[in-house]
A and B are shown apart, each in its own frame.
Chain A
Amino acid sequence: MKAWRHQGAGVLVWMCAIAVVLPLLTALIASVAEGWAWPALLPSQLTFRWWASDALHGPVASALFTTVTVALCVTFVCALISIPAARALALSDFPGKHTVEAMLLLPVIVPPIAVVTGMQHVMIVLGLADTFFGVVLAHVVPAAPYMLRVLKTAYAAGGGRLEEQARNLGASATQTFLRVTLPVLAPGLVVGGTLAFLVSTGQYLLTFMCGGGRVLTLPLLLYPHAAAGNRPIAAVLSILLSVPGMLFILAAEAYLHRKLRDREVYFV
């Protein structure tokens, strides 16, 4: 008597697995395909020339570099501003707290299209438009709420009590932060950081408007090729755009697995 299992369930799961995998597989094959015309299921010839020509020279390489560095800076800035804020939100109660929390959720709820033209204006005024740093800050806006939420949960789960204990044992504020808070927050930082990194690599509209064509990230390069139907090149760019995020996740999971062996942690 199996508690809640059923034979037929496996079929459904397999079908979903196939539906998820096929588009991915197709793109992978497309990136190394030489002339993959209808109605062939597999390309007649494999080639690396799409990769060789685009990936190693020219705008693609620099776009990849820009994308990754922007994302890393976004993660860093998010962490910097979110740690103290999460602490304040998790540990203290104050009048207006609910309003603040609601406001901090707005960037997730309000569609970017509504904000982006105004944001561009603000950046022009501040002299940040079309700059690398401006794009970073623009990406921080949608990314921060996620990291904030993760850190707040991490803090609420016991950070406050541990800090109290540390201070009670005689540690100074700095010592407490470095020796107790940061290590306890580390898994939360990894999870939140991964989210921030992913949010940043996926941005198109914000980069387009606030970067003004000067800051070129991979999504900006991908769009025209995808729209024009240049399958091999778009496939290459898609893979390039996905790889940093996947590497980040794999690293994060390896780290989390070591740290939290007994608990299953999926950051999503």
Chain B
Amino acid sequence: MKESGSHRWVALFPVLALLAVLFGGGLSLGLLRSFGFQPLLGESELTLRHYSAVLSDPDFLPNLGHTLLVAAVSTTLSAVLGLAMAAGLLASARTFGALRFLLRVPVVLPHLVAAFMVADFLSQGGILARLLYLVGVLDEMQDFPPLVNDRHGVGVILVYVWKEAPFVALMVLGVLDHAGRRLAEAARTLGASRFQTWTRVLLPLAWPATATASLFVFAYDFGAFEVPYLVDAAHPSTMAVWAFRRHVDADLLQRPEGVALCMIIAAMSLALVYLYVGKTNSWMARRMVAGIEPRLQHPGEEPR
């Protein structure tokens, strides 16, 4: 499209302005504050002491470890279960139209709602415990392990998986449902067995979708606040909740440290995403699923 340069900047201005002011401004202010720049308190020299205070805090490593563990386990479980669900839906004889619709419910429910529902379901007096009691696996309420608010974050992980495995499944189905079916047909007519079709064609096809979905899931799980705030134990807590408590609950002197912690969280998330994207972008681009539809070719058109 031939348009004058200024046109497109005018078009982009509202979005960029809003994000720059609120998001960029917020991030910058946080950054400045984390370096000790609080003019209202008479501090205008940049310093690293807040960062060192955070890094040397005895809670830092346990909380970081806890956060990474929760995020990694959730992501892995979501990826595996999501992939299995998608494969199951594709491979089953029935259409399961209702379930496909149902799969979207966990994805669209607000995180707090999901957290409450799943946590309640898994609590010691919850329905799962009662079902196990009914079947005779439990003798009394206390026998059911406290999954919610426990030190290992099991409750948080299960909430995340409940919400995110369907997300992964839907992403994978997006690829497998259309391209996957056609390519599976081609593989079958070329002589592949069912097993070979799955391992050589369908699963490799599902992999990029799974990987991308998993990246989003991990990035979210790492820095999320709402779910662990409700469901997680106090010690160790996830980084986001720890930062929140330091900011809101702590006294003024501790606040810059809270902000420094936030900056660390942000930096880690960014590093993670850009590392992944940088490494896989070209790898994935060449293997785009596009090679299936015959394109309407103009005479003399160059290959893509």
Contact = CB atoms under 8 A, between A and B. Distances in A.
A and B touch in the complex (CB under 8 A): yes
Contacts of A202: 110-113
A13 B85 contact: yes
Contacts, number: 282
Interface string B94-114: 101001001111111111110
Contacts of B31: 118
B194 A16 contact: no
B262 A117 contact: yes
A245 B108 contact: yes
A264 B25 CA distance: 40
B121 A26 contact: yes
Interface magnitude class on chain A: 35 or more
Contact of A26 (B27, B108, B113, B127): B127
- A interface secondary structure, majority: helix
B294 interface: no
Contacts of B106: 20
- B interface secondary structure, majority: helix
A240 to B, nearest CB: 10
B90 A4 contact: yes
**Which of B16, B31, B219, B226 gathers the greatest number of chain A CB atoms within 10 Å?**
B226
Give me the 5 closest cross-chain CB pairs, A-B, nearest first.
Answer: A111-B223, A118-B26, A202-B110, A119-B26, A118-B29
Interface of A: 2-7, 9-10, 12-13, 16-17, 19-24, 26-27, 30, 37-41, 80-82, 84-85, 87-89, 91-92, 94, 100, 103-104, 106-107, 109-123, 126, 137-138, 140-141, 144, 148, 160, 163-164, 198, 201-202, 204-205, 219, 222-223, 226-227, 229, 231, 234-235, 238, 241-242, 245-246, 249, 264, 266, 268
Contacts of B30: 114-115, 117-118
A268 B104 contact: yes
Interface string B39-76: 00000000000000000000000000000000000000
16 contacts: A2-B93, A9-B89, A23-B162, A26-B121, A26-B126, A26-B127, A85-B12, A107-B19, A107-B23, A110-B223, A111-B222, A114-B223, A114-B265, A116-B26, A117-B247, A119-B25
B243 interface: yes
**Which of B5, B7, B14 gathers the greatest number of chain A CB atoms within 10 Å?**
B14
Interface magnitude class on chain B: 35 or more
B194 A6 contact: yes
A114 B34 CA distance: 11
Given A38-B141, A88-B8, A205-B226, A109 B125 contact: no
B187 to A, nearest CB: 9
B117 interface: yes
B19 A104 contact: yes
A234 B178 CA distance: 40
B29 A121 contact: yes
A260 B118 CA distance: 35
A91 B30 CA distance: 35
A116 B81 CA distance: 33
B174 interface: yes
A16 B93 contact: no
Contacts of B178: 264
Nearest to A3: B188
A96 B49 CA distance: 36
